[in-house]
Chain A
Amino acid sequence: EPEVTQTPSHQVTQMGQEVILRCVPISNHLYFYWYRQILGQKVEFLVSFYNNEISEKSEIFDDQFSVERPDGSNFTLKIRSTKLEDSAMYFCASSPGQGARAFFGKGTRLTVV
């Protein structure tokens, strides 16, 4: 089965530092997503991306966050100045269409110290 790959699997960063989380969606998928899961809580939507632009974002996705598809394969999430409360598991997902099954990567555990 095709896989969404995420790197790194674990990232530790100092508060105030910038981090970039990387994802390689499934190659023929058109919709890309970032989700966040704080330990022990539910999976929360951050942003969706289609046709090289953000199609929807949540209240969590403030101006400290940005996404980019710098080439034909990578999809990145940048947090400009990390806060302690950004510590969470970040999942990338992709799907072939709206309302279609979303495939999740294994996640990046971000720890802000």
Chain B
Amino acid sequence: GENVEQHPSTLSVQEGDSAVIKCTYSDSASNYFPWYKQELGKRPQLIIDIRSNVGEKKDQRIAVTLNKTAKHFSLHITETQPEDSAVYFCAAAGNKLTFGGGTRVLVKP
């Protein structure tokens, strides 16, 4: 089955700096790669997604890149703000979503 590895597990950045989270996946059949933000006690919220026919996607301060050959994808958050502090999960989907282990992001004011 699919296996998704996510790094780092924790990330502390200064407000205004960039944050980068990286994921790798194992199943070459996966074709959909969403990123979720989860605040304490709440459900995962989709923040951006990318399909396998696209290499990069951007939405304001958030961007995702995908390298299908290497089977890895990354989330980039620029100009981080304290409200970006949360746990972020990557996921890979073919028939179902398989989540990475999560990255706890702390943005220090």
Q: Bound pair: A and B?
A: yes
Chain B contributes a number of interface residues (CB within 8 A of A) equal to: 22
Which one, B61-69, B75-83, B96-104, is touching chain A? B96-104
> Is B31 an interface position by the 8 A CB rule?
yes
Query: Residue A25 at the B interface, CB < 8 A?
Result: no
Residues from chain B with Cβ under 8 Å of A105 in the complex: 43
Does the CB pair A45–B43 fall under 8 Å?
no
Of A33, A42, A107, which one neighbours B89 at CB under 8 angstroms? A42
Is the pair A45, B97 in contact by a Cβ cutoff of 8 Å? yes
Q: Are A55 and B43 in contact (CB under 8 A)?
A: no
Residue A112 lies at the interface, judged by CB distance under 8 Å to chain B: no
Contact indicator A55/B95 (Cβ below 8 Å): yes
| Min C-beta distance of B53 to chain A, whole Å | 12
Distance in angstroms between the alpha carbons of A41 and B49 in the assembled complex: 22
- Whether A91 and B43, one on each chain, are in contact in the complex, defined by CB atoms closer than 8 angstroms, is yes
Cross-chain contact of A42 among B32, B46, B94, B99 (Cβ < 8 A): B99
Answer whether residue A18 sits at the interface, using C-beta atoms and an 8 A cutoff.
no
Q: In whole angstroms, how far apart are the Cα atoms of A107 and B101 in the complex?
A: 19
Is there an interface contact between A101 and B49, defined as CB atoms closer than 8 Å? yes
Shortest 9 CB-CB contacts between residues of A and residues of B? A43-B99, A99-B32, A104-B43, A42-B101, A48-B96, A42-B99, A106-B43, A42-B102, A107-B43
